[in-house]
Amino acid sequence: MRMPLIAGNWKMNGSLALVEEFGRAFADVSLPVNVEVSLMVPFPFLEAAGRALGETSVTVGAQTLSDRPSGAFTGEVSAAMLRECGARLVLVGHSERRTLFAEDDAAVLARVKAALAEQLTPVLCVGETLEEREAERTEAVVLGQIEAVFGALDEAERARLVVAYEPVWAIGTGRTASPEQAQAVHAAIRDCLARYGAGLAGGMRLLYGGSMKADNAAELLAQPDIDGGLVGGASLKVDDFLAICQSAG
């Protein structure tokens, strides 16, 4: 079946000291064996995080990447560079990238392809704004974001993605989608993926993100189509993040 994935998204937060703290804490606990854990840290911490977590089963990931393989793109970071620095996963299309850095569906697709070309696992983020939800456009928006990427990939490529549903109104707001609200969108995403094949839909991991915390993770993760979490704020506190990882087991 689908192995739950708990991914921490530090965003532009943290420090080398926090990386070390996580390394020590994770070395001291036993995580549930049936749960995959990944920490998406800022670029400059990738190598240190790989070292600090090296004795644990926690993998390291990045939060974005360039859509180009190399060249005169000052300030950009390529998939191959991330791979060389130890990243195994990379977030693509996080709502903060879409809104603050003008990444549209075409830009998101190009980054997914760049990640796949270097054997990174893209975690494709999708989600609706509050306005879109109130206009009853949630499914149209979310499934549109899904199809913009899945429709442009081949069968083997599609199977290598992870999807994270993050309602924009729940990100960093303390306002979590209810388990029922989240489950309804996850089920719609899985139905949509079934158009590409029952195997793909059945195997695809769908993470929930948006104010997931130690005290609400268990009921979200208990939903049949929620296969893990993308955790922002609570992934910066080691005890909270550990508690969420434990509750996925």
- Residues interacting with ligand PGA, by CB under 6 A? 9, 166, 171-172, 209-212, 230-234
3-state percent helix, strand, coil for the chain, nearest multiple of 5: 45, 15, 40
Residue 231: beta bridge partners?
8
Q: Does the annotation flag 233 for ligand binding?
A: yes
Q: Does the annotation flag 75 for ligand binding?
A: no
- Which residue number, 146 or 196, has a Cβ lying nearer to ligand PGA? 146
CB of 236 to ligand PGA, least distance (A): 9
Residue nearest to ligand PGA (CB): 232
- Which residue number, 193 or 231, has a Cβ lying nearer to ligand PGA? 231
CB of 4 to ligand PGA, least distance (A): 16
Which amino acid, one-letter code, is at 137? R
Active site residue 94: yes
Q: Does the annotation flag 199 for ligand binding?
A: no
CB of 86 to ligand PGA, least distance (A): 21
Active site residue 166: yes
- Residues 143, 170, 95: CA angle, nearest 5 degrees: 55
For the chain, first and last CA: distance in Å? Answer: 13
- Which residue number, 87 or 231, has a Cβ lying nearer to ligand PGA? 231
β-bridge pairing 162-165 and 206-209: parallel
142 touches 127 (CB < 8 A): yes
CB of 209 to ligand PGA, least distance (A): 4
Spacing of C-alpha 216 from chain mean position: 18
Q: Does the annotation flag 151 for ligand binding?
A: no
Among the options 36, 103, 128, 166, which is catalytic? 166
Q: DSSP for 23-67?
A: HHHHHHS---TT-EEEEE--GGGHHHHHHHTTTSS-EEEES---S
Q: Does the annotation flag 15 for ligand binding?
A: no
Q: What beta strand segments (E) does the chain contain?
A: 5-9, 36-40, 59-62, 87-92, 121-126, 162-165, 206-209, 228-231
- Which residue number, 103 or 166, has a Cβ lying nearer to ligand PGA? 166
Binding site feature residues: 9-11, 172, 211, 232-233
Active site residues: 94, 166
Binding residues for substrate: 9-11, 172, 211, 232-233
